[in-house]
């Protein structure tokens, strides 16, 4: 014991002697004070509302809470209802009940692998390509020509590559229901026929007698019949930050962990009927089984299909009815539109973009288990965060700034004495936080000799140590525990004034969500450690709380700066939630979970529950159903919602949210339900993930504009050429163009772009407007070139070139060399378009990645070689001389330059009108009293800079990319690419087809 403490203890002993009570004076009976220690209100046991003589052991009756509340009725009624006793069931009865109630596990469905594979070929884009394959192999027969095997094989290869990637990813995914099931205790100790044995937890049935001890996972929901110093950690189920002491008659939840003591209990519910099982059941209730990106892809696909359909019908009418084409010639023209117009590689290209993005996020310790979540994270407007273990450390701490003292001892002295009265081994959560407050654990026993220690128990609700102080040789005693119990022991300084102050301090702690821990001290006169002391003296009151993580406040500020509103959704009590909100600067405008059922009170400022949810900073005391409902309502208001959590209680909301984020240390259940799993403590990774997802979103948006523009370019261009010149382009060369384009465009996954500063959102009207403008301009470039070659001698006269050795005119519109010219012109300028769609200003002011530049150069070299040497009969192509190649390149450069001007003109006219219309619609919703906030139209950080400020743009991008943490070289091996691959539509009902083992193996 330190000298200052020893002196204060001696002074206290001399100056404060217990007041003797006058035996003559009448005894004044004082009312016992009720200290508002922070804790749960106990629910009084009731009786079952059924005729106990007419009991039938049926699941529908046992779990009907209007008749029977097995969780709260008296324990005697539990045994009567379950028709069992403390000796347990016999094997025959257990088998019978297993048939009635089912196994104590969560069911999961196994998918047929073959049907799952075929499912990836079941979407509109694939249907058209499958139709084109049938046309090539079945309908393309007759007229003394073989089936179109080349086109058929090429199309089938494209389909199988895409389907194989999608199948591989989903097959490896597993599902969250299995993760929830695996987190149940695999074995359980049960009494059968009066004998204790160990069985699989899946074999437990209602009525079984079970036992568990420290370290065990509770295998099923049960009511305790015996409890010896039991403390249960159920934070992963209910979100409560403190382990809960349990006594005989209390309920324990399946999946919770025994932190202290040992207990026996009777099983009241198993499998899907447990608290844990009901949470798992909510996971599968997501009625929005189609992901956000899948919906966007479906709309983009519909745009392409409608465009193709219009011109296919036009060709059928014009070529067959108008030009009287023969059967095979007309089919070849239709195949050109089908093969060239369908962006069949769109899912694959976007999946590569998302996969590389997932690699980048992994560098920031965020493992992506559903890669489509990256796109949705970019558009998230609200982040709902669990508190315990997410915003806070889930580690109890002494709040040094609020320690109350009632005597000559300082706050540090009170903490040291409280540490004396704590275990240093086999600690519970309270002892651990008190001893931890010393910094050096060794101080808890330094300078003293332990003589006797009484650990915490549910009856006394305090700990007590008797020790000898080595410096003075005196025997002393310290106790710490529940305020009401400790103050009853204090005879030396307990006065009306002190009790009033103590009551006010405890109430202040409770209002702030802090748990009060009283500390008292006394000295012993003799040498007997079990002897009476000179009376306890109250010396201090400690405040215990679950502190916020160090980086949480900064993370919340960063999220708000990115346009993402943060709401706390916790299972802990309202006072704790408000205190945490105040400490984080999140706000304390929070509500208890009951308002979600009752709605806003009459006369309040909120007209509806939706309005209240939008206005609230958070909700407290929520159960899984509440978290799920909050997320669902926010989504109903038009918001993309992210949810963070770490426990099984968070799993339903994690699955329902657009982006579920499991924090570091999360349970398997939470990781299985989540889309992104953080692998280091804190939420700072989320800010990196949001920025990274917005970079990836910009890349996907750029590609979408490009893909739609190419569709318009191909179908309109070749339809016009067929109508105007009866030009028949070989279908196989369109397939080659598509392959080279897609190979180049895949490098967009590492392109240099900057994230937007507001949530991203898909504005398809803008994408389609840009696509139509670019597509028609490129169509004009090709039609003009063909018209000049066929109708004039301009190129022949100026550059002395010819076609097929005939000068000055080609023999016909379908000269094989003219096919080569058109192929080269279409291939080169179509790929060059990406440099315009990827930039917001002039294309040369925003430097692309080296990968994109390199792939573009390689593709153009290949295209040029094919044009120069491609004498393949089945392709309908014949090599052209160098003069024509030069003409095509110069022609493309001339037509490429105005594309930037078209982009600026579109922004100033069509796009501006579209955005104004969206803004007016949003403002109209607000005027009409619609809840929520208008979503700002997204633009990248580059686009947000005025377009005239082009000076030093490249260096600005480089500096900003370094600051954000992007721009480094990304290397991916094939295994990693497959691991994060396909983003094709998931099977209906498989909302949580993700397996946490993929995270563990990352």
Say what the alpha-carbon torsion angle 261, 201, 655, 679 is, to the nearest 10 degrees.
Answer: 60
Average pLDDT of the segment spanning 767-776: 93
Residues 6+ apart with CB under 8 A from 530: 452, 466
Q: Which domains does the chain have, with CATH numbers?
A: 116-173+293-355+691-911 (1.20.1110.10), 366-393+549-679 (3.40.50.1000), 397-545 (3.40.1110.10)
* 510-524, 763-777, 918-932: the lowest-pLDDT one: 918-932
pLDDT at 893 over 90: yes
Give the pLDDT confidence score for residue 887 in this predicted structure. Answer: 94
Give the pLDDT confidence score for residue 825 in this predicted structure. Answer: 94
Contact 645, 670 (CB under 8 A): yes
Tokens of 698: 């910009």
In the chain, pLDDT over 90 holds for what percent of residues?
12
Whether 386 is catalytic is yes
User: Which candidate in 216, 233, 386, 431 is catalytic?
Assistant: 386
Quote the DSSP letter at residue 479.
Answer: E
Rounded to an integer, the average pLDDT of 652-673 is 78
pLDDT in tens, 718-734: 999 999 998 888 888 88
Per the listing, tokens 């999961």 go with 108
Tokens coding 103: 């196994």
Distance (Å, whole) CA 678 – CA 656: 18
The closest alpha carbon to 979, from 420, 438, 270, 358, belongs to: 358
Give me the pLDDT at residue 23, please: 36
> Of the candidates 997, 286, 235, 105, which has an alpha carbon nearest to the alpha carbon of residue 650?
235
Q: Quick one: pLDDT band at residue 466, thresholds 50, 70, 90?
A: very high
Alpha helical stretches, state H, 585-660? 595-598, 609-615, 624-636, 651-656
Taking the C-alpha atoms of residue 56 and residue 715, their distance in angstroms, rounded to an integer, is 71
Nearest-angstrom CA–CA distance, 589 and 878? 75
Span 664-679, pLDDT tens digits:
777 666 777 788 888 7
Q: Which one of 80-89, 160-169, 853-862 scores highest in mean pLDDT?
A: 853-862
DSSP state of 33: P
pLDDT-derived band at 584 (thresholds 50, 70, 90) equals: confident
């Amino acid at each position: 014991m330190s000298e200052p403490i020893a002196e204060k203890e001696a002074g206290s002993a001399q100056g404060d002697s217990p007041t003797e009570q006058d035996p003559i004076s009448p005894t004044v009976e004082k009312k016992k004070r009720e200290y508002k220690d922070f804790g749960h209100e106990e629910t009084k046991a009731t009786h079952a509302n059924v005729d106990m003589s007419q009991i039938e052991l049926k699941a529908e009756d046992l779990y009907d809470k209007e008749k029977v509340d097995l969780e709260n009725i008296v324990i005697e009624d539990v045994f009567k209802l379950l028709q069992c006793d403390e000796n347990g069931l016999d094997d025959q009865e257990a088998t019978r009940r297993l048939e009635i109630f089912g196994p104590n596990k969560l069911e999961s469905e196994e998918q047929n692998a073959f049907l799952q594979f075929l499912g990836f070929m079941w979407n509109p884009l694939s249907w058209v390509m499958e139709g084109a394959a049938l046309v090539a192999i079945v309908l393309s027969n007759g007229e003394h020509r073989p089936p179109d095997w080349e086109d058929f094989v090429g199309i089938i290869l494209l389909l199988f590559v895409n389907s194989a990637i999608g199948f591989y990813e989903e097959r490896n995914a597993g599902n969250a229901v299995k993760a929830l099931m695996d987190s149940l205790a695999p074995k359980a100790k049960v009494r059968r026929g009066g004998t204790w044995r160990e069985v699989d937890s899946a074999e437990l049935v209602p009525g079984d007698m079970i036992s568990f001890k420290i370290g065990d996972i509770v295998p099923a929901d049960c009511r305790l019949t015996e409890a010896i110093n039991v403390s249960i950690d159920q934070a992963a189920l209910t979100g409560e930050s403190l382990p809960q002491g349990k006594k005989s008659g209390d309920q324990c939840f399946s999946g919770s962990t025994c932190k202290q003591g040992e207990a026996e209990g009777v099983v009241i519910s198993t499998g899907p009927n447990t608290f844990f099982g009901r949470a798992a059941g909510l996971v599968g209730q997501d009625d929005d089984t189609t992901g956000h990106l899948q919906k966007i892809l479906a709309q983009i696909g519909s745009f392409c299909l409608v465009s193709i359909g219009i011109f296919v019908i036009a060709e059928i009418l014009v070529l067959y009815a108008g030009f009287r084409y023969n059967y095979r010639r007309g089919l070849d023209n239709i195949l050109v539109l089908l093969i060239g117009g369908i962006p069949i590689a769109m899912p694959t290209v976007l999946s590569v973009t998302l996969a590389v993005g997932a690699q980048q996020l992994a560098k920031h310790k965020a493992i992506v288990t559903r890669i489509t979540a990256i796109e949705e994270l970019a558009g998230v407007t609200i982040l709902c965060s669990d508190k315990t273990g997410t915003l806070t450390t889930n580690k109890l701490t002494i709040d040094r700034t609020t320690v109350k003292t009632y005597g000559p001892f300082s706050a540090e002295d009170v903490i040291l004495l409280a540490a004396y009265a704590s275990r240093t081994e086999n600690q519970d959560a309270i002892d651990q936080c008190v001893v931890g407050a010393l910094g050096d654990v060794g101080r808890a026993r330094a300078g003293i000799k332990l003589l006797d220690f009484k650990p915490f128990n549910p009856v006394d609700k305090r700990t007590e140590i008797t020790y000898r102080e080595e410096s003075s040789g005196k025997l002393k005693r310290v106790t710490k525990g529940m305020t009401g119990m400790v103050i009853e022991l204090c005879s030396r300084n307990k006065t009306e004034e002190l009790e009033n102050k103590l009551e006010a301090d405890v109430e202040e702690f409770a209002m702030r969500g802090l748990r009060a821990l009283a500390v008292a001290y006394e000295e012993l006169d003799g040498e007997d450690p079990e002897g009476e002391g000179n009376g306890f003296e109250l010396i201090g009151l400690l405040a215990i709380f679950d502190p916020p993580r160090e980086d949480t406040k900064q993370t919340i500020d960063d999220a708000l700066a990115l346009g993402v509103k943060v709401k706390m959704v916790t299972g802990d009590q309202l006072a704790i939630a408000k205190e945490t909100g105040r400490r984080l600067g999140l706000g304390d405008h929070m509500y208890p979970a009951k308002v979600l059922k009752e709605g806003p009170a009459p006369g309040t400022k909120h007209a509806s529950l939706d309005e209240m949810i939008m206005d609230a900073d958070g909700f407290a005391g929520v159960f899984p159903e509440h978290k799920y409902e909050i997320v669902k309502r926010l989504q109903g208001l038009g918001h993309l919602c992210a949810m963070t959590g770490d426990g099984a209680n968070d799993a339903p909301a994690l699955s329902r949210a657009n982006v579920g984020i499991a924090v570091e240390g999360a349970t398997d259940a939470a990781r299985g339900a989540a889309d992104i799993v953080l692998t280091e403590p804190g939420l700072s990774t989320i800010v990196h993930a949001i920025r990274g997802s917005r970079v990836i979103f910009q890349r996907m948006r750029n590609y979408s504009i490009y893909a739609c523009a190419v569709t318009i370019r191909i179908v309109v261009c070749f339809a016009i050429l067929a109508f105007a010149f009866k030009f028949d382009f070989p279908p196989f060369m369109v397939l080659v163009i598509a392959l080279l384009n897609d190979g180049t465009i895949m490098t967009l996954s590492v392109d240099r772009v900057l994230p937007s500063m507001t949530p991203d959102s898909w504005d398809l009207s803008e994408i389609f407007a840009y696509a139509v403008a670019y597509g028609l301009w490129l169509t004009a470039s090709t039609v003009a070139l063909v018209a000049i070659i066929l109708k004039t001698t301009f190129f022949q006269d100026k550059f002395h070139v010819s076609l097929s050795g005939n000068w000055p005119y080609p023999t016909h519109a379908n000269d094989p060399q003219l096919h080569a010219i058109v192929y080269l012109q279409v291939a080169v300028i179509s790929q060059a378009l990406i440099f315009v769609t990827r930039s917001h200003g002039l294309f040369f002011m925003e430097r692309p990645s080296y990968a994109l530049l390199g792939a573009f150069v390689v593709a153009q070299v290949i295209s040029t070689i094919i044009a120069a040497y491609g004498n393949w009969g089945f392709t309908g192509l014949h090599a052209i001389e160098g003069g024509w190649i030069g003409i095509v390149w110069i022609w493309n450069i001339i037509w490429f330059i105005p594309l930037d001007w078209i982009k600026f003109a579109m922004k100033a006219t069509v796009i501006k009108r579209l955005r104004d219309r969206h803004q007016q619609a949003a403002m109209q919703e607000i005027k009409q009293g619609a809840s929520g906030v208008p979503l700002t139209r997204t633009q990248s950080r580059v686009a947000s800079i005025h377009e005239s400020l082009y000076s030093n743009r490249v260096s600005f991008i480089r500096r900003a990319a370094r600051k954000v943490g992007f721009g480094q070289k990304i290397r991916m091996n094939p295994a990693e690419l497959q691991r994060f691959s396909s983003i094709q539509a998931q099977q209906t009902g498989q909302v949580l087809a993700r397996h946490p083992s993929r995270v563990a193996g990352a």
